[in-house]
């Protein structure tokens, strides 16, 4: 049974509040400050909490134990924070959620160490759950690292195809959202078939999310995004936007990028060639696939998954 919009927004607002409360309850020491002050800063630098919310929305399909869901939710959010810290270092991004990134506020050595410790906290958070949950968290962590490696390998490589790009973001972004939706089924001891469907739901959601992120990195509002726009293009990143741009008018695109032109010129190019339209169609395609993955749950009383997909589709940051 699909929930209406008001119920959905009340649910995610409540879940975000509870997740933030649980994150603040993590027993983090005061000393040494070199380690623990940056950790507190990162955890409290509140993001959207989409990943732990998805753990709950998946688990609530089966009326899973709330305490166990919270352990899994906290673990995936800590894993996500760890990946962001290291990602910011590797990409040289100085802003995260509208505030200085960890390596910018402190330094790279501090950020690396704090990220490693946060990954350890994620392991501890999930260690009391079913062994399958612990194993999947580590399997997905490795996939995320593979995706990040491909992302770096692809920089300034104009031969990268859309298929290669999709493989990269499946690992880097899709796998973690897949883990989130699968954990709800693992906690409630669902069969592998249900786990697989929910994992695939999350992967498709992750593909939609990342492709939309590529769009918002150009057409979003900097204040809402909490980071500078157009930085991926200037860094030579391969995105859905840049790959389509090359395929439509390679000569013009290479001319624009070689001149390191302003953001508005990129926007004008994308609009003139209807790349924004093609990107929106691609996002909608993967959102439609998420619904197909969870057809089994469409009659469930607590099904917010389709609403969550639409929430991702309509986000502005």
pLDDT at residue 11, rounded to an integer: 96
pLDDT at residue 215, rounded to an integer: 96
pTM metric for this prediction: 0.94
Quick one: tokens of 303? 């099904």
pLDDT at residue 295, rounded to an integer: 94
Q: How many CA atoms lie within 13 A of 269 on its CB side?
A: 23
pLDDT at residue 262, rounded to an integer: 87
DSSP notation for 11-34: HHHHHHHHHHHHHHTS---SSSHH
Buried b vs exposed e over 78-105: b needs ≥16 C-beta within 10 Å?
bbbbbbbbbbbbebebebbeeeebbbbb
CB-based contacts of 119: which residues, under 8 Å, 6+ apart?
78, 79, 82, 141
Quick one: tokens of 188? 């409630």
Q: Residue-wise pLDDT tens for the chain (317 aa)?
A: 455 788 999 999 999 999 999 999 998 999 999 999 999 999 998 689 999 999 999 999 999 999 999 999 999 999 999 999 999 999 988 888 889 999 999 999 999 999 999 999 999 999 999 999 999 999 999 999 999 999 999 999 999 999 999 999 999 999 999 999 999 999 999 999 999 999 999 999 999 999 999 999 999 987 776 667 788 898 889 999 999 999 999 999 989 988 878 899 999 999 999 999 999 999 999 999 999 999 999 888 779 999 999 999 999 88
* Peptide bond before residue 191 is cis, with ω within 30 degrees of 0: no
CATH architecture assigned to 5-313: Orthogonal Bundle (1.10)
Domain-by-domain residue ranges, the chain?
A: 5-313
Q: Say how far apart CA 70 and CA 74 lie, in whole Å.
A: 6
pLDDT at residue 90, rounded to an integer: 95
């Amino acid at each position: 049974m699909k929930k209406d919009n008001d119920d959905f927004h009340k649910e995610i607002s409540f879940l975000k509040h509870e997740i933030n409360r649980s994150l603040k309850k993590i027993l983090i020491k005061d000393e040494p400050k070199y380690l623990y002050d940056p950790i507190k800063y990162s955890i409290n630098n509140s993001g959207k909490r989409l990943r732990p919310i998805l753990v709950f929305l998946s688990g609530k399909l089966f009326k899973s134990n709330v305490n166990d869901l919270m352990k899994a939710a906290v673990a995936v959010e800590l894993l996500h924070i760890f990946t962001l810290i290291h990602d910011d270092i590797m990409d040289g991004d100085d802003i995260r959620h509208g505030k200085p990134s960890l390596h910018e506020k402190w330094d790279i050595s501090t950020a690396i160490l704090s990220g490693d410790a946060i990954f350890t906290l994620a392991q501890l958070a999930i260690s009391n759950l079913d062994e399958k949950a612990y194993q999947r968290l580590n399997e997905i962590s490795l996939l995320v690292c593979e995706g990040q490696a491909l992302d770096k390998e692809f920089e300034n490589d104009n031969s990268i195809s859309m298929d290669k790009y999709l493989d990269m973001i499946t690992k880097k972004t899709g796998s973690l959202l897949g883990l989130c939706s699968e954990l709800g089924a693992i906690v409630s001891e669902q069969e592998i078939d249900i786990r697989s469907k929910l994992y695939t739901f999350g992967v498709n959601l992750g593909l939609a999310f990342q492709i939309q992120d590529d769009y918002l990195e150009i057409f979003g509002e900097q204040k809402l995004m909490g980071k500078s726009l157009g930085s991926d293009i200037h860094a030579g990143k391969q995105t859905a936007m840049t790959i389509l741009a090359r395929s439509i008018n390679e000569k013009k695109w290479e001319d624009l990028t070689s001149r390191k032109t302003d953001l508005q010129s990129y926007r004008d190019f994308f609009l003139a060639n209807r790349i924004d339209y093609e990107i929106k169609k691609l996002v909608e395609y993967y959102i439609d696939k998420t619904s197909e993955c969870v057809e089994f749950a469409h009659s469930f009383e607590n099904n917010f998954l389709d609403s969550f997909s639409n929430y991702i589709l309509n986000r502005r940051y």
